[in-house]
């Protein structure tokens, strides 16, 4: 069962129907969304557990259950040692480094891991899944370092911090404090889970950490696409552009879905603009040749690429996000550990579903598409601040001064903002190199081809965060430019966005530091305030842009 758009409904997981939207909602709203295990899933889980126990009783070697892990598969142990083996796998992987993953990433990880195990092929107890959900519903979160996983054999290092917490070890964050797990369990009247065969391996041998990063990155990337369309529309107005570039005829004849949708969104945002005009209106301003065989047009009939080709750029992000969403929906509903138990055939299968290649490829593609948005917006900003290209706006968007005003010549407006924007863009572009091609052979050449998905997914979120900073700078400049141009002639969309930003960022009348302004607009971006305004305009009703485009 999915979560309602208002988040009022709970969520039932069954291993088959979880969506990226669900992950994002639970990750960002935390314990306000109650999550429970589907009864049918409980039955399947217990059937696979029964099969596991029956197979152990035969004395046959079962990977990671009665054998060692990875390259140590050739070591078989007795059934009496299986529980301790599972506790140890969660211990010897406790070697993560780097910053701690954000709370929303940890929540998403817990939800996805529970859902993948709910598919019922991992040979574990339903009690294990329910403990994950109890942690989620009480917002009990292990601290998980971001670094240490190569994305196959699953996210071993990050997920072992989750397994350790399930077994009552280590520390967890609860009610704002980092506390011993055992003490938090006691406060919640819960007992630590005593591991049995396969429990530790099932918890850590999966793609859930990478998938959580990826799901959140995808949501943020789709918000970037919508706000890039807003920026393009406002830039077209600031430059007195030609909104005919977004006419459906053009894009119907190169019908990539993302390109068509992007053009339609920009056109809708500009529909009532008195600054960006239709092509026929622009032609009407040219005056014609008269009796001459040459004339210089007073207004260009065609805008530069960063405006005119914006749907072709933003559309790539839209289309990339579309297939990436499909891949992630499959991934978060998969059995991605090893081995897997087939209760219908009473057999166990050894394979490699822990390989997170689809996540890695999707995130490498997303970060490239998003970095291209930064480049597009940085070029738009250059046109707007540069008096050689901004069609009569002031140099660097400085305030207009009356003749004889002492301040004339002393101010440089958005010159520094444009420099900062270019620096941030360069960093985003530099960080967009694919991670998935940097496979490393590890673990005694047992893991000799790995996905690097967690690095790709973390990179994607980092690139997106940089592009959000570019968006913030550009939006502040666009408000300044449209105000200089004449707010009364701007579209309704530009006026509404201008109003929202002006509640936090004043007009730049005199040179000042603008770092606080950037931070304020970043908050408007990340809280969905601005995307909510755009969705109201495009769809007539506010809906979370981080969910669907």
Rg of the chain over all Cα atoms, to the nearest angstrom: 27
- Which member of 63, 92, 135, 174 is catalytic? 63
Q: List the structure tokens of 70.
A: 């990875």
Residue 414 CA to residue 383 CA, distance in Å, equals 12
Residue 168 CA to residue 163 CA, distance in Å, equals 9
Residue 340 CA to residue 98 CA, distance in Å, equals 32
The SS3 call for residue 432 is: coil
Residue 489 CA to residue 482 CA, distance in Å, equals 9
Q: Is 348 in contact with 62 (CB distance < 8 Å)?
A: yes
How distant, in Å, are the alpha carbons of 49, 119, 274 from that of 342?
10, 11, 65
Active site residue 63: yes
Q: List the structure tokens of 364.
A: 């490498």
Q: Is 241 in contact with 544 (CB distance < 8 Å)?
A: no
Start-to-end CA distance of the chain, whole Å, equals 21
Q: List the structure tokens of 516.
A: 């606080």
Q: Is 306 in contact with 258 (CB distance < 8 Å)?
A: no
Residue 87 CA to residue 82 CA, distance in Å, equals 9
How distant, in Å, are the alpha carbons of 129, 145, 154, 167 from that of 113?
8, 17, 11, 15
Report which of 518, 540, 544, 517 is spatially closest to residue 530, judged by C-alpha positions. Answer: 544
Nearest 10 degrees: CA dihedral of 69, 73, 79, 82? 0
Report which of 546, 536, 549 is spatially closest to residue 492, judged by C-alpha positions. Answer: 536
Residue 464 CA to residue 431 CA, distance in Å, equals 10
Residue 117 CA to residue 532 CA, distance in Å, equals 35
Residue 165 CA to residue 175 CA, distance in Å, equals 16
Q: Is 459 in contact with 370 (CB distance < 8 Å)?
A: no
How distant, in Å, are the alpha carbons of 82, 97, 229, 534 from that of 319?
47, 34, 14, 20
Catalytic center residues: 63
């Amino acid at each position: 069962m999915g979560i309602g758009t208002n988040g009022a409904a709970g969520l039932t997981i069954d291993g088959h129907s979880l969506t990226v939207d669900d992950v994002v909602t639970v990750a960002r709203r935390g314990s306000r969304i109650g999550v429970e295990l589907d009864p049918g899933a409980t039955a399947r889980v217990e059937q696979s557990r029964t099969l596991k126990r029956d197979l152990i009783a035969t004395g046959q070697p079962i990977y990671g259950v009665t054998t060692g892990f990875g390259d140590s598969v050739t070591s078989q142990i007795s059934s009496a040692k299986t529980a301790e083996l599972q506790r140890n796998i969660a211990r010897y992987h406790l070697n993560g480094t780097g910053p701690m993953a954000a709370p929303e990433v940890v929540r998403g990880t817990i939800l996805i891991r529970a859902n993948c195990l709910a598919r019922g092929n991992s040979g574990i107890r339903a009690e294990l899944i329910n403990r994950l959900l109890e942690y989620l519903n009480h917002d009990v979160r292990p601290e998980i370092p971001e670094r240490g996983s190569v994305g196959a054999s699953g996210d071993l290092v990050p997920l072992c911090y989750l397994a350790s917490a399930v077994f009552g070890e280590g520390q967890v964050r609860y009610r704002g404090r980092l506390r011993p797990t055992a003490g938090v369990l006691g406060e919640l009247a819960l007992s630590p889970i005593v591991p049995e065969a396969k429990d530790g391996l099932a918890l850590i041998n999966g793609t859930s950490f990478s998938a959580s990063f990826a799901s959140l990155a995808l949501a943020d990337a789709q918000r970037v696409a919508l706000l890039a369309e807003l920026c393009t529309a406002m830039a077209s107005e600031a430059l007195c552009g030609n909104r005919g570039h977004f006419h459906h005829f053009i894009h119907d004849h190169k019908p990539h879905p993302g390109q068509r949708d992007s053009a339609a969104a920009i056109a809708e945002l500009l529909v009532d603009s008195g600054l960006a005009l239709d092509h026929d209106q622009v032609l009407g301003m040219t005056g014609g040749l008269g009796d001459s065989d040459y004339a210089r047009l007073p207004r260009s009939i065609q805008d530069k690429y960063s405006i005119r080709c914006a749907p072709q750029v933003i559309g790539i992000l839209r289309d990339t996000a579309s297939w990436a969403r499909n891949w992630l929906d499959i991934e978060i509903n998969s059995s991605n550990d090893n081995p897997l138990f087939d209760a219908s055939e009473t057999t166990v299968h050894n394979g490699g579903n822990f390989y997170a290649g689809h996540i890695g490829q999707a995130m490498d593609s997303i970060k490239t598409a998003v970095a291209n948005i930064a480049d597009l917006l940085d070029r738009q900003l250059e046109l707007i601040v540069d008096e050689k290209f901004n069609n009569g706006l002031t140099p660097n968007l400085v305030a207009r001064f009356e003749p004889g005003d002492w301040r004339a010549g002393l101010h440089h407006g958005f010159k520094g903002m444009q420099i900062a924007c270019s620096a941030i863009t360069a960093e985003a572009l530099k960080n967009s190199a694919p991670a998935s091609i940097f496979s490393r052979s590890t673990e005694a050449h047992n893991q000799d081809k790995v996905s690097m998905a967690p690095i790709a997914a973390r990179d994607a979120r980092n690139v997106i965060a940089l592009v959000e900073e570019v968006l913030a700078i550009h939006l502040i400049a666009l408000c300044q430019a449209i105000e200089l141009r004449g707010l009364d002639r701007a579209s309704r969309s530009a006026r509404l966005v201008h109003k929202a930003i002006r509640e936090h960022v004043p007009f730049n009348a005199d040179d000042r530091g603008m770092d606080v302004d950037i931070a304020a607009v970043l908050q408007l971006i990340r809280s969905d305030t601005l995307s909510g305004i755009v969705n109201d305009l495009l769809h007539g009703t506010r809906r979370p842009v981080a969910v669907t485009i």
